[in-house]
Structure 1
Amino acid sequence: MPSTATETITQPLQSLSLRSEPKPAAPAPAEPAAAAEQDDSNYKYKRFLPSFDQDFKLPPLEPFEHVDPGHKALSDPDPQSFLRGATRDDLTPDFGTELTGVNLRNLDERERAQLALFVAQRGVVAFREQEDFIDADPEWQLNDFGAFWGRLHIHPTSGQPAEFPHFHLVYRDGAKTYNFETNTRLTSSVWHSDVSYEAQPPGLTTLFLYDSPPTGGDTGYADQRAAYNHLSPSFRAYLETLQVTHSGVEQAEHSRKGSRGGVVKREPVINVHPLVRRHPVTGEKALYVNPQFSRSIVGLKQEESDAILKLLYDHIKSGADFQTRVRWKPKTVVLWDNRTTCHTAIVDFAKGGSRRHGARITPQAERPFL
């Protein structure tokens, strides 16, 4: 069962420092020449560009108790009152919604709880016209908005703004490749659930872009609840008896070889999670596997494990009837539930030399359970 105690965060998260003086960012590994470097000298969001500090090291994560804020909205007599006056466009009947007219900066505690429930129900929600959020003080973005949903996670291998390590950056331009490698595969799509190898993976996750190409660079989302429900009842029942290892080792080794800036801030971990997990607020069941971090099914022979996982991966990536796609219009903030969805960046803009630069706020949630 999920935990019932509330976590208290007692000091600003971005003030974390494990060294006496900041050190210059290490140069990124050389990339094949593809296009001219972006001129960042007058870039409005220059302070949020990736930095790679080889000396920035983090201790292992400790367990904590978490309660999803969406629980409070279950007893709310009007659980969608935060949508009053908003324009709503559902991307599909059951999965994905775009909202205009909701200012994320102005939500009170009750409305935030409603938002948590709404995102849990819809899976992914794009909030348009959020200039107040994009240009807000990053201390508010992290310590007020982000930390409301859980303990903020620092990604163990990605680039980060030098001042704010709790932002996980997505970055790609025509000359630098920090988070995406596309030239050795037929597609840039890598369906995944963020850092599922952690003992307590993320819950409600926030992503916004400082800069994006005029077209392309969308994010694809898949509903892991619907993926589960599309399977036959007998197969679902069997999958519910299984557990899966999730590993961060390969990601760390990829960085140690010089990719993505070459940093490993925290030693990698391997954890075991149920193959099917239950959402703590809605009670819905969802597949919890992804090809980026899931490795094997506990107790099965390798060939058996590989066959089942491949079937599920193929099912997820080909399930157009339970997928949607979010287009990154300027000043958009996207929230999704990392427990019941998976997603992929779509790097279809690289040859044009455009920059795609964004920040993810990644609160951890409960340990997966069924």
Structure 2
Amino acid sequence: MSSLAPAFEVNGLAADGLDDAKPTQVSWKEYRNLRHNVLPIRPLGSHVPAHGFKSPRDVPSDRGLLADPNLPNLLGLGVQRIDLTPSIGTQLTGLQLSQLTDVQKDELALLAAHRGVVFFRDQDITAEQQRALFDYYGLPELPGDNPEDGKKSATNTIQEQEQDYRKTYIHFKWPFADFHADSSFEINPPSFSLLRVDEPPPTGGDTNWISGYGTFESLSPTLQKFVEGLSAWHSAGHVYDSVLNHWSGHPPTRPRETLHPVVRTHPVTGYKSLNLNSGFVDRIDGLNRYESDKILELLFTHIHTAIDHSVRWRWEKNSVALWDNRATTHRATHDYAPIHRHGVRVTIIGEIPVLKKDSRARREVEKELRNQPNLPAVYNENLRKGKYLTETKPVF
């Protein structure tokens, strides 16, 4: 048993250590509905992480809740907005992230919550300014288990594999090149992430995002009701194993897994979002392994084939993407090996995911807004400017 600083419980009793041979179910008095396991390290190798795990956090309210949905400050003089698809992705030009006012930052958070990901070109923002921008939005995601220890991680360096991932894939249990939401196995998974690529390859290395709003709303009503009653285990076990035993890295925290709802409510938009990703989700709670595998296969296929709810971004030097992990999953395209690709990413932690009874599918809300005049700018261009038929006719 290894000693840990944060106070927690095992089987309802106060504890100060974790089992190194089998999973340890831990809990906290303040978060009785939370289910979290710390996985054993003994079967994976001899490395003993410096930290045990991250305790649950209460996070600041999302800045998007304070923003004007008409985005009058963000979409000011000289700023051009391009919705890249109806469902997800907006590009803004004529704006420097390094120079945003606080009210513009709030409106950007609201736009990202609705559009999933917002893109920028030719940005002069530095790594330190990226961190400062996200410190305004909330609490930074840190590698250790104690955010109060003063050791602020400025940034995460994204330096992709300089090899063909298909050749190395046989060594991995973690499908690292697949769709994922950043660190979804955490108790407080990240809300926003921001990546600036400063060394792109001449071609290739694009990143794809898929809308969680879109993948939920495009399920049949019967399947929507079914998945709303499910929860899934998001695990860091495969990541830990791959980093330790293939990349010869030394993970700072123990492997862990957290139970999150398969459908979550976005705290700003109120939309239901399909909260699954094949990069980290291991199994559905309450089902036997065969049932879980088959249902996840169906849902992962649904996500992977959601071309109508996806956007692909071609990186250029100093391009930036700011995305909302609560409403999207993403996947890098590893098609440029052995050419170098480098970027700097910052993230902040979000609230513990929940599904609220009063939340709705985005499509349901937008259907009620069709053909209404003067819709706020935060909604997509088709909804604001398109002419919708009053009756739906079959298409053959």
Q: Same fold (TM over 0.5)?
A: yes
Deviation, structure 1 residue 320: 0.9
Decide whether the 8 Å contact of 1:188 with 1:346 is kept in 2. no
Partner of 2:334: 347
**TM-score in terms of structure 1 length:** 0.75
Partner of 2:282: 295
Aligned-partner Cα distance in 2 for 1:77–1:306: 41
Decide whether the 8 Å contact of 1:205 with 1:363 is kept in 2. yes
Partner of 1:322: 309
Decide whether the 8 Å contact of 2:211 with 2:310 is kept in 1. yes
Superposed, which structure 2 residues align to 1:228-267 within 5 Å?
228-257=216-245, 259-267=246-254
**TM-score in terms of structure 2 length:** 0.70
Q: What's the secondary structure of 1:270's corresponding residue?
A: strand
Aligned-partner Cα distance in 1 for 2:205–2:143: 22
Q: What's the secondary structure of 1:205's corresponding residue?
A: strand
Partner of 1:72: 66
Partner of 1:281: 268
CA deviation profile, 1:248-292 (whole Å, cap 9, x unmatched): 1121122221x2342211112110000000100000111111111
Aligned-partner Cα distance in 2 for 1:182–1:356: 17
Aligned-partner Cα distance in 2 for 1:252–1:236: 32
Aligned-partner Cα distance in 2 for 1:312–1:328: 29
Deviation, structure 1 residue 184: 4.5
1:126 alignment partner, one of 116, 119, 125: 119
Deviation, structure 1 residue 168: 2.1
Letter in 2 for 1:361: V
Which deviates the most, 241-250 or 61-70?
61-70
Deviation, structure 1 residue 89: 1.8
In the alignment, structure 1 residue 358 sits paired with structure 2 residue 343: yes
Partner of 1:61: 54
The 1:275/1:333 distance shift into structure 2, 3 A limit, reads same
Decide whether the 8 Å contact of 1:245 with 1:271 is kept in 2. yes
Aligned-partner Cα distance in 2 for 1:148–1:182: 39
The 1:276/1:59 distance shift into structure 2, 3 A limit, reads same
Decide whether the 8 Å contact of 1:120 with 1:337 is kept in 2. yes
Deviation, structure 1 residue 77: 6.9
Superposed, which structure 2 residues align to 1:149-298 within 5 Å?
149-155=137-143, 165-172=153-160, 174=162, 181-185=165-169, 189-257=177-245, 259-298=246-285
Q: What's the secondary structure of 2:166's corresponding residue?
A: coil
Q: What's the secondary structure of 1:227's corresponding residue?
A: helix
Letter in 2 for 1:146: F
Partner of 1:101: 94
* Structure of higher CA gyration radius: 2
Q: What's the secondary structure of 1:151's corresponding residue?
A: coil
Aligned-partner Cα distance in 2 for 1:293–1:172: 19
- Between Structure 1 and Structure 2, how many residues are aligned? 297
Gaps of 5+ in 2: 1-46, 145-150, 356-396
Identity %: 36
Gaps of 5+ in 1: 1-53, 157-162
Q: Determine which structure has greater relative contact order: mean sequence separation of CA pairs < 8 Å that are 6+ residues apart, divided by chain length.
A: 1
Decide whether the 8 Å contact of 1:201 with 1:366 is kept in 2. yes
Letter in 2 for 1:82: L
Letter in 1 for 2:157: L
- Higher strand proportion, which one? 2
- Structure 1 runs of 4+ off > 6 angstroms? none
